[in-house]
């Protein structure tokens, strides 16, 4: 004889509990996704760059070489002003003096290169002037040896394209040389190049003198004399 089913025996309550658990997990997943999504979007944001300029010199030299760049609107980028117009000085290398940094929880971290990095993040049609300048010659460390400075100009958008690369020699403190002058058209393409010297440091010194300022790196105790390697003043 079959046993009658108990009036309390039913699968409906179990299915309801299972369904509620699934719905709960789905809601928790959606909430977690909403909370993490802004972070994921922020990570996708990259600083756009159209041109990258690398200025490098051998690590064996402790000398401080600076990058100077003037855009078609005659705005000058240097360590004095690291962001101007659409130009950015991403790294100001002081030779050996800023190669080692202390990172909390890690200790001393050494950057074993002499490299300055400059980016142009948009197109301003007209001529750009790129110069290198020997801000400080560390005679006591490396003597009076000439410093070979390699300059690379690359267009990186939409793909990497080498525009120009060359090596110039800086022989003394405060010597300045024009690496390249290049003209961009409205599409951001290099229309022409030239290598005629155009002084930017002298121009900046005159502007600073008018404003009562001095040309020196932050932290320098004294202003370096505004003279070239031959002793001639600016």
pLDDT 10s digits, 7-64: 555 566 666 677 777 777 777 777 776 666 444 444 443 457 999 999 999 988 889 9
Model confidence at 140, pLDDT cuts 50, 70, 90, reads: confident
CA 140 – CA 144 distance, rounded (Å): 9
> What pLDDT is stored for residue 110 in this prediction?
56
Is there a contact between 209 and 229 (Cβ–Cβ < 8 Å)? no
CA 226 – CA 210 distance, rounded (Å): 15
> What pLDDT is stored for residue 94 in this prediction?
79
Q: Look up tokens 């929880």; give the residue.
A: 105
pTM, entire model = 0.69
168-217 tens-digit pLDDT: 999 999 999 999 999 999 999 999 999 999 999 988 888 777 777 667 76
Mean pLDDT in the chain? 80
Residue in 149, 156, 111 with CA at minimum distance from that of residue 133: 149
CA 172 – CA 139 distance, rounded (Å): 9
Other beta carbons less than 10 A from residue 49's beta carbon: 18
Other beta carbons less than 10 A from residue 71's beta carbon: 19
CA 24 – CA 9 distance, rounded (Å): 26
Is there a contact between 57 and 149 (Cβ–Cβ < 8 Å)? yes
**Structural class in CATH, domain 51-210:** mainly beta
DSSP state of 75: -
């Amino acid at each position: 004889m079959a046993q009658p089913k108990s009036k309390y025996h039913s699968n409906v309550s179990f299915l309801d509990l299972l369904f509620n658990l699934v719905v709960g997990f789905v809601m928790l997943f959606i909430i977690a996704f909403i909370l993490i999504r802004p972070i994921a979007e922020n990570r996708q944001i990259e600083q756009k760059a159209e041109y990258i300029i690398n200025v490098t010199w051998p690590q064996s030299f402790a000398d401080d070489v600076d990058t100077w760049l003037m855009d078609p609107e005659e705005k000058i980028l240097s360590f004095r002003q690291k962001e101007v117009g659409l130009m950015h000085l991403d790294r100001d290398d002081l030779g050996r003096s800023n190669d080692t940094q202390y990172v909390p929880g890690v200790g001393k971290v050494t950057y074993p290169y002499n490299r300055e990095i400059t980016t142009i993040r948009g197109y301003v049609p007209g001529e750009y002037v790129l110069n290198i300048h020997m801000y400080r010659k560390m005679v006591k460390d490396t003597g009076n040896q000439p410093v070979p400075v390699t300059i690379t100009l690359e267009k990186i958008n939409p793909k990497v394209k080498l525009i120009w690369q060359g090596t110039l020699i800086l022989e003394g403190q405060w010597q300045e040389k024009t690496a390249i002058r290049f003209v961009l058209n409205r599409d951001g393409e290099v229309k022409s190049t030239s290598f005629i010297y155009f002084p930017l440091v002298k121009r900046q010194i005159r502007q600073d003198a008018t404003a009562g300022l001095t040309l020196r790196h932050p932290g320098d105790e004294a202003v370096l004399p505004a003279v070239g390697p031959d002793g001639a003043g600016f």
